[in-house]
Structure 1
Amino acid sequence: MTRTDKHKPKLNWKKGFFLILALNIAGFLLLISLIFWPAEDVELPSETEKVKQESSEFVVRTSKENLNSLINAYIEHLTENTRHKYRIELEEDVHLIGELPVFSTTVPLSMRFEPEVVENGDIILRQESISLGLLELPNRRIMQYLDRYLPMPDWVIVDPNEEEIYIAITDMDIRSNFELAVESLDLKENNLAFRISVPYETFGIESWKMFP
Structure 2
Amino acid sequence: MHQRNWKVLFISLFSLNIFIIITLFIIIFSPTPGSNALPEKEYIEDEAGAEFTVRSSKQNLTELVNQYIDKALNDKEGKYSIQLDENVQIFGSVEAFNKDIPISIEMEPIVQENGDIILKQTEMSLGLLNLPKNKILEYVAKAIDAPEWVIIDPDNEEIYIAVTQMDIKSNFKVRAQQIDLENDQISFRIKVPTATLGL
Asked if the contact 2:70–2:78 (Cα under 8 Å) also holds between the matched residues in 1, the reply is no
TM (norm. structure 1) is 0.69
Which residue is equivalent to 2:153?
159
Q: Is the 8 A contact 1:127 1:163 kept in 2?
A: yes
Quick one: structure 1 residues 152 and 84, their matched pair in 2 at CA, closer, same or farther if it must change by over 3 Å?
A: farther
Deviations 1:109-128 (A, max 9, x none): 00000110000000001100
Task: Report whether the alignment pairs 1:73 with 2:67.
Answer: yes
Q: CA deviation at 1:103?
A: 1.9
Give CA deviations for 1:78-130 in whole Å, capped at 9, x if unaligned.
Answer: 22168892110000100000001012210000000011000000000110000
Report SS of the residue matched to 2:115: coil
Question: What CA distance in whole angstroms lies between the structure 2 residues aligned with 1:68 and 1:102?
Answer: 28
Unpaired runs of 5+ residues, structure 1, are: 1-52, 206-212
2-side partners of 1:82 and 1:119: how far apart? 35
On the 8 A contact 2:87/2:108 being kept in 1, the answer is yes
Query: Aligned AA for 2:90?
Result: L
Aligned partner of 2:69: which letter?
I
After TM superposition, which residue ranges in structure 1, 4 or more long, deviate above 2 angstroms?
81-85
The structure 1 residue matched to 2:175, chosen from 181, 191, 195, is 181
Aligned length: 153
CA distance, structure 1, for counterparts of residue 77 and residue 141 of structure 2: 15
Q: How far 1:150 moved relative to its partner?
A: 1.7
- In structure 2, the partner of 1:147 is 141
The DSSP-based 3-state class of the residue aligned with 2:171 is coil
Q: Partners in 1 of 2:129 and 2:179 — Cα distance? A: 32
| Counterpart residue number, 2:42 | none
Structure 2 regions of 5+ residues with no counterpart?
1-46
- Give yes or no for the alignment of 1:58 onto 2:38: no
Rounded to whole Å, the distance in 1 between the matches of 2:89 and 2:78 is 17
Match of 2:81 in 1: 87
Whole-angstrom distance in 2 between the partners of 1:187 and 1:81: 26
The 2-side partners of 1:64 and 1:84 are apart by 19
Rg larger for: 1
**Scaled by the length of structure 2, what TM-score is found?**
0.73
**Distance (whole Å) between structure 1 residues aligned to residue 181 and residue 167 of structure 2:** 25
Larger RCO: Structure 1 or Structure 2 (Cα < 8 Å, ≥ 6 residues apart)? Answer: 2
CA RMSD of the aligned region, Å? 1.6
Partner of 2:121, secondary structure, is strand
Contact 1:84 1:149 (C-alpha < 8 Å) held by counterparts? no
Instruction: Determine if contact 1:85/1:150 at 8 Å carries over to the other structure.
Output: no
Superposed CA deviations along residues 123-170 of structure 1, whole A, max 9, x for unmatched, are: 001100000000111111111001111232111101111101100000
